[in-house]
Amino acid sequence: MAYTFPSEAWLKALSDVLNSDVNYAKIAKNWEGDMLVLIEPEPGGPAGERAQGMYLDLWHGTCRRVSAHTEGDPGMPKPAFTLRAPRSTLLRVMEGQLDPMQAMVTRKLKVEGNMAYMMMNVPTVLDFVRCCRQVKIAA
């Protein structure tokens, strides 16, 4: 099944993948940190468009909670990590056309939070992206 990206349904499907993937559970067993992925409007897009947020509460190889948000909403979580990029960049990462670590280092994917922690946990980051790639995105 394919899901609209971003959407609550896509996030729920990702949560199901993360929580059922034995490899992810093993690799991410020491990961401590929730994350907000902000999908920014494309450059040159409609004026006033706000970023769409996907919140994931990731803890020791499990995904405890997911939720969708719009940037600026009062209930938007303040996570340990915030990743920001236009939808086209995130899709390139999820389709395997752009390495996630290269995207972070070149600031195509902006990271707010402890970058040293992220770099010490590259296998977890890469396996998280592998799990994201298992959730089909509707065209």
40-78 pLDDT, tens per residue?
988 877 777 889 999 999 999 999 999 999 988 888 899
Confidence band (pLDDT; 50, 70, 90) for 2?
very high
69-111 pLDDT, tens per residue?
998 888 889 999 999 999 999 999 988 899 998 998 899 999 9
Domain membership of residue 112 as a residue range: 2-137
Looking at the structure of the chain, the number of domains it has is 1
52: CATH: 3.30.1050.10
Q: Which helix (DSSP H) or strand (DSSP E) does residue 123 occupy? A: helix 122-132
Which residues are within 8 A (CB) of 60 and not within 5 positions of it... i.e. 6 or more apart? 28, 29, 30, 31, 32
Contact 18, 57 (CB under 8 A): no
Quote the pLDDT of residue 131: 97
Mean pLDDT of the chain: 93
- Partnered with residue 70 across adjacent β-strands are 52
* pTM exceeds cut of 0.95: no
Q: CA-based angle 113:101:55, to the nearest 5?
A: 45
Virtual CA dihedral for 9, 48, 100, 8, nearest 10 degrees? Answer: -10
pLDDT over 80 (residue 30)? yes
